[in-house]
Amino acid sequence: MPPEKTAAPSPAAVARGARRASWHLALMLVLTFSTGIVDAVGYLGLDRVFTANMTGNVVILGMALTGSEDLPIVGPVLALLGFLAGAAVVGRVLRKAATGWTTASTWVFVVVGVVLAGLGVATSLMVGLPVEPGTTPPPAALAVTTVLGIAMGGQAAAARRLAVKDVTTVVVTSTLTGLAADSRMAGGTGDGWRRRLGAVVLILAGAAAGAALLRWHIGAGLGVAALISLVAAVLGHFRAHATR
């Protein structure tokens, strides 16, 4: 018997899927901006530690282990461990969830926002922050670094589950590679250049915003990042349920 033909999706279903994908892309780009803020706060305010961009931490840690002066070791290690822990926990939570944006996804982003807000308040009350370069960070700063790593690992795992092409919210190296390698100059089609360039520009803008907010107060950047995460969670949740 000939194989049964699968019914083609209706135009309405195709349109709903396109709208959902566009919303996911927009929300992940917004979260990429907030990641830039968080990493600026971590690097400039928490003894040169990246709490979202783990590539930077690995490089810093490698240089520090060779004896390079004034480079942190404890902070990058704690951020790495925290990031892995957060990604593992969220990966397990979302393992059995349906594909796309689910209620579980919403809760992950809400928790990330609440954690960032709590850290914003906590850092506002801590003495010795931001950490001066070359000085030993206080235990409170290391605790903030660890918790930020956990939150960013969880966000990255949730974003990965949504599978928005070229936008992970925490990394732009692969995005830059795709932007250049698939460009017309390289003989490619140039498809997806807008989202790729958008991710790079937004994490750059987020880092600039984080650095500017740090001049005012170390907790300000984390507060703005928290608000962005919470708004993204609410918009994503209602949009996902509205388009089903």
pLDDT for the residue numbered 166: 76
What are the C-alpha distances in Å from 27 to residues 74, 141, 168, 229, 240? 33, 30, 11, 9, 12
Nearest residue to 236 via CA among 102, 114, 116, 90? 102
Indicate whether 242 pLDDT > 90: no
Distance CA 166, CA 197 (A): 10
Nearest residue to 82 via CA among 108, 57, 114? 57
Three-state secondary structure call for residue 135: coil
Please check whether residue 199 is in contact with residue 167, taking contact to mean a CB–CB distance below 8 angstroms.
yes
pLDDT for the residue numbered 187: 85
User: Around Cβ 128, how many Cβ atoms within 10 Å?
Assistant: 13
- Residue whose tokens read 């279903």: 13
Distance CA 77, CA 74 (A): 5
Instruction: Report the pLDDT averaged over residues 182-200.
Output: 88
Three-state secondary structure call for residue 73: coil
Instruction: Report the pLDDT averaged over residues 226-238.
Output: 95
pLDDT grade for 42, boundaries at 50, 70 and 90? very high
Q: Which residue has the higher pLDDT, 233 or 12?
A: 233
pLDDT for the residue numbered 19: 75
At the top level of CATH, the class of 16-242 is mainly alpha
Structure tokens at 19: 């709208």
Instruction: Report the pLDDT averaged over residues 67-78.
Output: 87
Q: Which residue has the higher pLDDT, 11 or 93?
A: 93
The secondary structure of 80-131 as a DSSP string is HHHHHHHHHHHHHHHTTSPSSS-HHHHHHHHHHHHHHHHHHHHHHH-TT-SP
Q: For 197-208, how does the pLDDT look when each residue is reduced to its tens digit (9 = 90+)?
A: 999 999 999 999
Cβ neighbourhood burial of 91 (10 Å; 0-12, 13-18, 19+): middle
pLDDT for the residue numbered 233: 96
Q: For 166-180, how does the pLDDT look when each residue is reduced to its tens digit (9 = 90+)?
A: 788 887 888 888 889
Distance CA 73, CA 65 (A): 7
Please state the pTM of the whole predicted model: 0.89
Structure tokens at 200: 């790079």
Instruction: Report the pLDDT averaged over residues 152-178.
Output: 87
Q: Across the chain, what does the average pLDDT equal?
A: 88
Q: Which has the minimum average pLDDT: 7-16, 115-124, 173-182?
A: 7-16
Q: Which has the minimum average pLDDT: 75-79, 116-120, 149-153, 239-243?
A: 239-243
